Copies of this chain bind each other. A is one copy, B any other.
Amino acid sequence: MINQKILITYEFTSISPQDAETLAKEIALEQTVELPYNLIKSHFIETEIIGSIASITALSKDRYSAVIAYNPEITGFQIPQFLNILYGNISIKTNIRIVKLSLPEQFLDKFKGAKFGINGIREKTAVWGRPLLCTALKPMGASPQEFAKIAKEFALGGGDLLKDDHGLIDHSFSSFHERVLRCQEAVTNAALTTGRETLYFPNILAPFEQMEEQIAFAAKQGVKGILLSPFLIGLDMVRYLSGKYNLIIMLHPSLAGTHFNDLRHGIAPEILLGTIFRLIGGDISIFPNHGGRFNLSIEQCKAISLSLSKESLGGLKQALPCPAGGMGIENIRDMSSLYREDVIFLIGGSLYGYSDNLTINTQTFMEEIKRHFPHCSKSVDRTDDFISSCEINNNVYTKDSIMEYLQFNDDFTWSGRGITEYKQSDNPDFYNIKRQELIGRFGEKTAFDLRYFEIAPNGFSSLERHVHEHVIICICGDGKLKIDDISMELRPFDIAYVQPLKRHQLRNEGSIPFGFFCIVDSKRDMPITP
């Protein structure tokens, strides 16, 4: 039979066998009806509301574990009440620790969890098969310009992720908006050199009234993720923001520690920073690494990591563990062996302090990571939410295969290569375009793809920009190419080159089809809206 209940395993310390049973009964009442049993007169409440004791097990002479089953309906499938049932009143007692939590499908189905998860983050960062390197912008008190300098140097060194320190807010002495603007600009510009964008996650820590304005501002600058502290802004607020915005959600454990660092009381960290952080929509969960400035054991770190990246949790996506706190280059070997590839190493002070040159430090740390994952591949065939006319369905060519000769037909098709016709007239980004993938997608080893596009009269391509370049050769009709504010006419055999990150769009304002070849790197970043 499928379990329909929420099963919570509590561990009691310093307790006698009789008291263990009494305590289990008390918890089952305390967390639900908050009344003595003799005052309950309803069969429905007895059977459906009060927790039922599934088992009590002796762990040692004075340590017991008890499993209590709760009807998920009592949580309303809502985060605040779920936290209440889980640990609300018994947080005020002592020597009761939650060591295991099993959530039924019926409950999990009501939550969306992470939007991106491990695979989504790998797609966004184009990093596969190895840990990611992340650093934090510090210290509080630095100016937006100083933060942007750090962002630039880290990005030029090839760092994967960059986040605000969780104490950076919209300070009177250092503005949130200017920091986000300049840092996002810094990582975008660095991508011109590196060919790959370091993702920057600003910290959203603000009074409720300002939070969404800050997120909207950050998203407008092109950030792909944000840092949130659930215990500072509320866990349900994280669920809300995660569901509303199309951003990677990185979670910080600030103020959560008291819930797990007393081993006889509280909630095991793999439940709090693992299961629950996944439930509220976390893509990444930061936690204190063993052996650093904090006190978690190696077993606890491993349990958190597993709970995030391996354990199945209904249909919820897996999240990336992000150990942090006092780690240096000398720890990378052990951490790589402990966490394997699905992890983000968040390294602050020791990366900054390794030498005076942050770019070189970053390169050095990245090399050290890659050294332990020699077979890691780097792919930039990513998908994104913005639908680009050039990139749509760019992985669907499986029927065709490598061909040495593609015969040109009079109707501007090539034999052996199908046409992708875009009939999505409801997509406002582009209109009336056909695409044919010609070379590069059928097993070829070329470093580029050759495609043919045809824009019907009045059609247009997406207005977009990206790090990779375009080479365009007009072969029929005539069209307009707009690059930033400059517009140029393309007639047959005119060739155009679109530089990295330039806004561009192709239009057909004539009366016959405008057809052109477009050559791009086969490994390339996804376009974004300008």
Interface residues of A (CB under 8 A from B): 26, 30-36, 38-40, 42, 44-45, 48-49, 73-74, 76, 78-81, 83-85, 87-94, 136, 138-142, 165-167, 169-173, 205-209, 229, 231-237, 239-240, 253-259, 261-262, 265-266, 288, 293-296, 348-349, 352-353
Instruction: Name 7 A/B residue pairs within 8 A (Cβ), A-sorted.
Output: A26-B293, A32-B167, A34-B136, A74-B167, A78-B205, A91-B255, A234-B237
Query: A34 to nearest B CB, angstroms?
Result: 6
Q: Are A78 and B258 in contact (CB under 8 A)?
A: no
Q: Are A171 and B76 in contact (CB under 8 A)?
A: yes
Which residue of chain B is the closest to A288 with respect to CB atoms?
A: B92
Which residue of chain B is the closest to A136 with respect to CB atoms?
A: B34
A229 — which chain B residues lie within 8 A by C-beta?
80, 84, 88
Q: Are B206 and A78 in contact (CB under 8 A)?
A: yes
Give the residue of B80, B141, B261 whose beta carbon is less than 8 angstroms from that of A93.
Answer: B261
Query: A270 to nearest B CB, angstroms?
Result: 15
Q: Are A84 and B173 in contact (CB under 8 A)?
A: no
Q: Are A240 and B207 in contact (CB under 8 A)?
A: yes
A256 — which chain B residues lie within 8 A by C-beta?
91-92
Q: Are A258 and B258 in contact (CB under 8 A)?
A: yes
A262 — which chain B residues lie within 8 A by C-beta?
94, 258, 262, 265
Question: With contacts A40-B139, A141-B45, A349-B39 known, is A294 near B88, CB below 8 A?
Answer: no
Question: With contacts A92-B294, A261-B92, A265-B261 known, is A84 near B167, CB below 8 A?
Answer: yes
Q: Are B80 and A205 in contact (CB under 8 A)?
A: yes
Query: A242 to nearest B CB, angstroms?
Result: 12
Q: Are B35 and A141 in contact (CB under 8 A)?
A: no
Question: With contacts A84-B229, A92-B261, A288-B92 known, is A33 near B205, CB below 8 A?
Answer: no
A35 — which chain B residues lie within 8 A by C-beta?
138-139, 348-349, 352
Query: A210 to nearest B CB, angstroms?
Result: 8
Query: A290 to nearest B CB, angstroms?
Result: 12
Q: Determine the distance from Cα of A80 to Cα of B231 in the docked complex, in whole angstroms.
A: 9
Query: A358 to nearest B CB, angstroms?
Result: 11
Q: Determine the distance from Cα of A60 to Cα of B347 in the docked complex, in whole angstroms.
A: 37
Query: A348 to nearest B CB, angstroms?
Result: 7
A172 — which chain B residues lie within 8 A by C-beta?
73, 76
Add 18 more A-B contacts to A92-B294, A207-B236 (CB < 8 A): A31-B167, A42-B142, A45-B141, A74-B140, A79-B207, A80-B232, A85-B167, A87-B258, A91-B258, A92-B253, A92-B256, A92-B257, A93-B295, A94-B262, A208-B236, A234-B236, A258-B266, A262-B265
Which residue of chain B is the closest to A92 with respect to CB atoms?
A: B257
Tell me the number of copies of this protein. 2
Q: Are A34 and B138 in contact (CB under 8 A)?
A: yes
Give the residue of B34, B170, B235 whose beta carbon is less than 8 angstroms from that of A76.
Answer: B170
Which residue of chain B is the closest to A48 with respect to CB atoms?
A: B141
Q: Are B295 and A257 in contact (CB under 8 A)?
A: no
Question: With contacts A170-B76, A255-B88 known, is A33 near B138, CB below 8 A?
Answer: yes
Q: Are A171 and B73 in contact (CB under 8 A)?
A: yes
Give the residue of B33, B34, B92, B254 whose beta carbon is less than 8 angstroms from that of A89.
Answer: B254
Query: A349 to nearest B CB, angstroms?
Result: 5
Q: Determine the distance from Cα of A165 to Cα of B81 in the docked complex, in whole angstroms.
A: 12
Give the residue of B76, B141, B348 whose beta carbon is less than 8 angstroms from that of A42.
Answer: B141
Which residue of chain B is the closest to A230 with respect to CB atoms?
A: B234
Query: A389 to nearest B CB, angstroms?
Result: 35
Q: Are A81 and B205 in contact (CB under 8 A)?
A: yes
The 5 closest A-B pairs by CB, nearest first: A234-B234, A92-B257, A33-B139, A91-B257, A88-B254
Which residue of chain B is the closest to A296 with respect to CB atoms?
A: B92
In this complex, the member of A81, A87, A165 whose beta carbon has the largest number of chain B beta carbons within 10 angstroms is A81
A236 — which chain B residues lie within 8 A by C-beta?
207-208, 233-234
A84 — which chain B residues lie within 8 A by C-beta?
166-167, 205, 229, 232, 254-255
Give the residue of B90, B167, B209 whose beta carbon is less than 8 angstroms from that of A88.
Answer: B167
Which residue of chain B is the closest to A269 with respect to CB atoms?
A: B92
A138 — which chain B residues lie within 8 A by C-beta?
33-35
Which residue of chain B is the closest to A170 with respect to CB atoms?
A: B76
Question: With contacts A45-B139, A208-B236, A236-B233 known, is A81 near B34, CB below 8 A?
Answer: no
Query: A485 to nearest B CB, angstroms?
Result: 39
Give the residue of B93, B169, B208, B352 whose beta carbon is less than 8 angstroms from that of A237.
Answer: B208
A93 — which chain B residues lie within 8 A by C-beta?
257, 261, 293-295
Q: Determine the distance from Cα of A353 to Cα of B83 in the docked complex, in whole angstroms.
A: 29
